[in-house]
Amino acid sequence: MTEGRRPGADTRAGGRAAPLGLLTLLAVALVSINLRPGATSIGAVLAELETGVGVSPAVAGVLTALPGLCFGVLGATAVPLSRRWGLTGTICLGLALVVLGLGLRVLTGSTVPFVVLSAAALGGMAVGNVLVPAWIKRQPGAGVRLMTIYSTGLTVGGASGAALSAPVTATGAGWRGALGLWAGVAATALVAWLLVARRERGTVLPGGSGLPTGQLVRSPTAVALTVLFGMQSMNAYVQFGWLPQIYRDAGLSATSAGLLTGSLTATGIVGGLLMPTVIHRSRTLTPWMVGFGVLAVLGYTGLLLAPAALPWLWVAVLGLSGWAFPTVIALLTARSRRPEVTAGLSGFVQPIGYLFAAAGPFLVGLIHSWTGDWQLVLVLLALSGVPLAVAGVRAARPVFVDDELGPPTLEDAPV
């Protein structure tokens, strides 16, 4: 049995690729593109928000930490909600929150409503983060193609939110136009998913969708995936938040530092296109997992020893290490047999992982302010490559979480 093919193969329809309708493709593409821009579009217009809604430096810090917190805390509600409303219905509910939150926050003129509405939109995105992989698992024989679209769309959406805010603001649309744009884009995703819901006519997830957290803790694969997701997410958020300043402190210009950080996203898009197929076809994933950890160590070591000498090399190395993200996203479906287990696994792995992501940039800021330089920060970040690799190697084993949890009980039987 191979590490990549058997656990990732669809257990229905003989593993054959089923024909995918245009609506299915559009629904997955649109939802994935809309699960990040509401978070990443804020950074480029913080100065305008200070004037527009009175955002102080303290509130700016809250806004930058809010995505990780909301993805972690509110993502935990997705699976319980899906037991009542079904996978598709709950994804529609999440997208409705995204549309309302992003649309209404640009109409406000004060800080508190802006933060509250931002949190509502991020909560809707958190629901999609958790449930879309389980919905994809329900599509017979289409998992690899849909996960490729999904993981790539997440990266493209995140990059677009960050890249388009400043140019749209400069056209005269202002920060309201730059941020409100994404409410319109999310509305197109909501329409597509309402059509999917109409087609499915209320199909719900089996009653066992809410796997207790204590049950998943007993799965070594689920724990390994959680550590892998958490370490990768923490590194990604630290890189997006602090890498530009690390380069600027090394003597590079603000423009160069921004371009270098932006190239991380371009590398991630390639990983999103490639890794779901690698997982499906590879005989073993262990070399990839070890490689992700080694590359993290090398990238941060390079930043520590010679940040300005070969800046593009260190970004390229860290970008390749970041392919752990589309890998762990794809493994949520590849390491589970049943959609309800996929939903429970996603609802276990992602909320905990995003709490790592929220804590990472905050702790980096504290350590940097305490030491006055980046040396200790970069040493600790380099060491994070070790648990990244160890967890990845364990997650690479050809094991289904379903099998580690034992046979389904009567509670887990479809209703």
User: For the chain, what is the mean pLDDT?
Assistant: 84
Mean pLDDT of 278-302: 93
Q: Lowest mean pLDDT: which of 205-219, 222-236, 304-318, 376-390?
A: 205-219
Contact indicator for 294, 181 with CB cutoff of 8 Å = no
Tell me the C-alpha to C-alpha distance, in Å, between residue 361 and each of 9, 77, 109, 249: 37, 24, 28, 17
pLDDT in tens, 227-282: 999 999 999 888 877 888 888 889 988 778 777 877 887 788 888 888 888 888 88
Q: Measured between alpha carbons, how far is 335 from 101 in angstroms, rounded to an integer?
A: 34
Q: Measured between alpha carbons, how far is 145 from 405 in angstroms, rounded to an integer?
A: 28
Q: Measured between alpha carbons, how far is 225 from 336 in angstroms, rounded to an integer?
A: 12
Longest Cα–Cα distance of the chain, Å, equals 63
Mean pLDDT of 89-110: 94
Q: Identify the CATH number of the domain defined by range 5-10+22-408.
A: 1.20.1250.20
Contact indicator for 162, 179 with CB cutoff of 8 Å = no
Q: Lowest mean pLDDT: which of 170-174, 344-348, 409-413?
A: 409-413
Neighbours of 2 (CB within 10 A): 15
pLDDT at res. 214? 63
Q: Would you place residue 212 in the very low, low, confident or very high pLDDT band (cuts 50, 70, 90)?
A: low
Share of the chain above pLDDT 70, in %: 88
Pairwise pLDDT comparison (119 vs 266), residue with the higher score? 119
Mean pLDDT of 69-97: 90
Q: Measured between alpha carbons, how far is 114 from 101 in angstroms, rounded to an integer?
A: 9
pLDDT surpassing 50 at residue 414: no
Mean pLDDT of 366-391: 93
Q: Would you place residue 213 in the very low, low, confident or very high pLDDT band (cuts 50, 70, 90)?
A: low
Mean pLDDT of 112-134: 94
Q: Which two tokens mark 226?
A: 């959680």
pLDDT at res. 327? 92
Contact indicator for 395, 404 with CB cutoff of 8 Å = no
Pairwise pLDDT comparison (246 vs 193), residue with the higher score? 193
N- to C-terminal Cα distance for the chain?
32
pLDDT at res. 208? 42
| HEC-encoded secondary structure of 292-339 | HHHHHHHHHHHHHHCCCCCHHHHHHHHHHHCCHHHHHHHHHHHCCCCH
Contacts of 391 (CB under 8 A, 6+ apart): 224, 225, 227, 228, 231
Q: Measured between alpha carbons, how far is 244 from 255 in angstroms, rounded to an integer?
A: 9
Contact indicator for 10, 336 with CB cutoff of 8 Å = no
Contact indicator for 78, 131 with CB cutoff of 8 Å = yes
Contact indicator for 261, 244 with CB cutoff of 8 Å = yes
